[in-house]
Structure 1
Amino acid sequence: MAGLVKHYQNTMKGIPQLTNNWGAMINLLDAVLVNGFNHVTILGLTKTNTTSITATINLGSDHGFIDRQVVRIAGSTNGWDGDYKVLSADTSSITIECTSEHPSVISGTATCFTAPTDFEIVYQTPTGSNEPKRAYRSTDPESLGLILLVHDFCVSGAAASGAKFAKVGLVESMTDIDTIVGNQMPFDPSNPNANWGWDGTNHGWAKWYYANPAYSQSYSTVNDAQSPNGGNRGFNIVGDASSIVLNIAENMCSALFGFLEFFDPSFQGKNACLLANGINTTPIPQSQTGYGGCRQGYGQTLNGLTYFSDSSFNQRGQLWFDTQGLYNPTTLGRFYFPAFQGNSSWGEFAGAVSSNQYIFLQEFIVDNLNNFRGVLPFLRKTTKKGNEVVVSEEGKTIARYYNDRGAYWFGLCLEAR
């Protein structure tokens, strides 16, 4: 069914994990954006009656699909191919939302799998490359057509055993995986390779961290050359045909990264925003130490070099267009928050003291000149601090709050833009 918001989590069957190995982010993005995962043969499909708007799919035991996710059917010969929201799941079957026009049975040799968001890989390095790169682009004909370029390897000379991250940027066009044509973001004309290379001090610029250096205490400070802990990282991802947001639960922080398209009222058109660590500053030195909050992405109360932000811009993101609708990368400004309680409950609305009093507000985006630039999809402002999953009127929402050594606080709606 068209227009479905899709979400993913690290506990889903068959989903690639964010390990302590270079290349893990690209493996995950390939599955979520392009290929899907967990392909299961459909054993049968039934509807209660011909006009029913739900159907039950028999998949056998251990299919691994979960409530509220989006699955894709492929290989049918009677009109069932497409994406569907899972209304419920048990050990051997799932019930999906469909239309009254769908047949009462399914024909053909059909499979069911976790649906990707439907980006394409425009260019890539060969399979098995020691320097994996991807150029992803939305296949939505109404998208801006910008390329999300991802490098997920350690450039020779940098700390290969240290923090793991994907170097990311938006580019206008490419002729191959190594040749950018036209505009890109972020970009320094005096150092064109600043976002992708290693200059002996800085390893890239805009980054999606997925394996932070190990912290022994919340008050410890570490740098990117220090090794992470072993094991996989927890994550939640939400996206649609033109946007994606990643929430990574890492050591001493809960980072938020993304590439999003949204309506910008300043020029009455579509704009693009890249949320990444370091993007609102110059490249961060590999030797720079900081608290856990220093490797977060989109941040809201982070100031000072130790947190890798500054006193002017504390949302880590850049906009592709300026207020005239022209290419002119513009950093985000301070977060907008209309009211909160006193110091003892900083960041909470008065009265929001229990989980049933959560309210999820739209996340306003303001640039560094204090211009209102729109509302980013999927992001929400919570009226209550906490770390939990809430089922609201908009569906499933993840609330995140991290206070030690740098407050970080947001809601992420997994079922609505």
Structure 2
Amino acid sequence: MRKTDLTVKYFNSGMTGAPQISNNWDDLVTMLNACLVNGFALKAIDTLTFAEGVATATITAGHAYQPHQVVLVAGAEQPEYNRSSRVLTTTMTAFTYAVAGTPVSPATTTTSLSAKVAPLGWEKPFAGTSKAAYRSKNPQSPQNILLIDNSLKTPNYTAGWANVGIVENLSDIGTIVGAQAPYDPNNPPQNWKQVTANQWGWHKWYHARGGQ
């Protein structure tokens, strides 16, 4: 079996099926859902075969996965096929990846065989309209939450930014429990609420910004 390290995954907007950030409210949440939790570029696999430690997935309609990209295969009755793996080689209609054991070839399924770009393996414990909270499922992580508010603040705001912060915990999407960063003890809600005119939070992700 070829040993590979899957701790590092990479994404870019040029990948087929990758979510795109335009100047729309909720685009950041949509992108993070795909990269952190759900994956993207889901494709149906037509045939899945095995020989000499390598599985070959054929997608006759084309796939555009890239070598070294981590792809998640699912749906096979033989569990050896169902895994996140780094792509070894590709053609326009097939890709290969390493498999342990000696599963039956070709793979069989009671549902359907599929592949997609593997997400980072995070979870989304809380969500609201254009808002989301993300947390790593790695038990070695500190389990802090990345909190995103990508919602329209007032009718006069144009799209282009989202409030972001790190929080210790939440009881719901709008209620922070414990520590948070950034934080001003003199204005506890400052990062999430409009506390003065023309100011709504101070720790932001910007897609577009006019002026200085």
TM-score (norm 1): 0.46
- Could you tell me whether the CA contact under 8 Å between 1:146 and 1:173 is conserved in 2? yes
Q: Given that residues 2 and 83 in structure 1 are in contact (C-alpha distance below 8 angstroms), is that contact kept between their aligned partners in structure 2? A: no
Counterparts of 1:12-411 in structure 2 under 5 Å? 12-49=15-52, 52=53, 54-79=54-79, 80-96=81-97, 98-103=98-103, 104-108=105-109, 109-125=112-128, 129=129, 132-156=130-154, 160-161=157-158, 164-198=160-194, 199-213=196-210, 222=211, 289=212
Three-state SS of the structure 1 residue aligned to 2:10 is strand
Partners of 1:205 and 1:154 in 2: how far apart? 16
Q: Deviations over 1:129-168 (max 9, x none)?
A: 3xx11011111111111000001123227x5226x12211
Deviation readout 1:103-132 (Å, 9 max, x if unpaired): 24322122111111111111101xxx3xx1
Q: Is the 8 A contact 2:55 2:99 kept in 1?
A: no
Query: Contact 2:6/2:86 (CA < 8 Å) preserved in 1?
Result: no
Task: Return the offset for 1:193.
Answer: 1.3
Instruction: Give the secondary-structure state (helix, strand or coil) at the position aligned to 1:68.
Output: coil
CA distances 1:183-217 after superposition (whole Å, capped 9, x unpaired): 0011011111111122313222212222343xxxx
Q: What is the CA–CA distance in structure 1 between the aligned matches of 2:126 and 2:206, rounded to whole Å?
A: 23
Task: Describe the shift of the 1:102–1:7 C-alpha distance in structure 2 as closer, same or farther (beyond 3 A).
Answer: farther
Does the CA contact (< 8 Å) of 1:45 and 1:57 recur in 2? Answer: yes
* 1:77 CA displacement: 1.4
Query: Deviation of residue 61 (structure 1)?
Result: 2.5
Whole-Å separation in 2 of the counterparts to 1:2 and 1:172 = 29
Unpaired stretches in structure 1, ≥5 consecutive residues: 214-221, 223-288, 290-417
Percent identity over the alignment is 34
SS at match of 1:211: coil
What is the CA-CA distance between 1:55 and the residue it aligns to? 2.3
Q: How many angstroms apart in 2 are the aligned matches of 1:172 and 1:3?
A: 27
Residue type matched to 1:168 in 2?
V
Against the structure 1 CA distance between its residues 182 and 202, is the aligned structure 2 distance closer, same or farther, given a 3 Å change threshold? same
- Matched residue SS, 1:196: coil
Q: Which amino acid aligns with 1:85?
A: R
Structure-1 separation of matches of 2:197 and 2:68: 47
Higher-RCO chain (CA-CA 8 Å, sequence separation at least 6): 2
One-letter amino acid of the counterpart of residue 90, structure 2: A
Confirm or deny: 8 A CA contact 2:6 2:70 kept in the other structure: no
Paired residue total = 204
Letter in 2 for 1:167: N
Please provide the CA RMSD for this pair. 1.9
Conserved? CA contact 1:86–1:95, under 8 Å: yes
Q: Which stretches in structure 2 are left out of the alignment for 5+ residues?
A: none
Q: Residues of 2 paired with 1:88 and 1:208: CA distance?
A: 36
Q: How many angstroms apart in 1 are the aligned matches of 2:93 and 2:66?
A: 11
Could you tell me how far apart the structure 2 residues matched to 1:190 and 1:2 are?
Answer: 46
Structure-2 change in CA distance of 1:91 and 1:212 (3 Å) = farther
- Name the amino acid aligned to 1:211: A
* Distance of 2:191 and 2:119 partners within structure 1: 27
CA distance in 2, matches of 1:175, 1:150: 15
**Distance (whole Å) between structure 1 residues aligned to residue 142 and residue 197 of structure 2:** 35
Contact 1:155 / 1:197 at 8 angstroms: preserved in 2? no
Q: Distance in 2 between matches of 1:92 and 1:209?
A: 38
- Give 1:100 shift: 4.0
Relative to structure 1, the CA distance from residue 102 to residue 210 in structure 2 (aligned partners, 3 Å threshold; closer, same or farther) is farther
Q: Out of 7, 10, 16, which is 1:4 matched to?
A: 7
Counterparts in 2 of 1:102 and 1:22: CA distance versus 1, 3 Å: farther
Shift of residue 102 of structure 1? 4.9
User: Given residue 35 of structure 1, which amino acid in structure 2 is its aligned partner?
Assistant: N
Contact 1:42 1:57 in 2 (8 A): yes
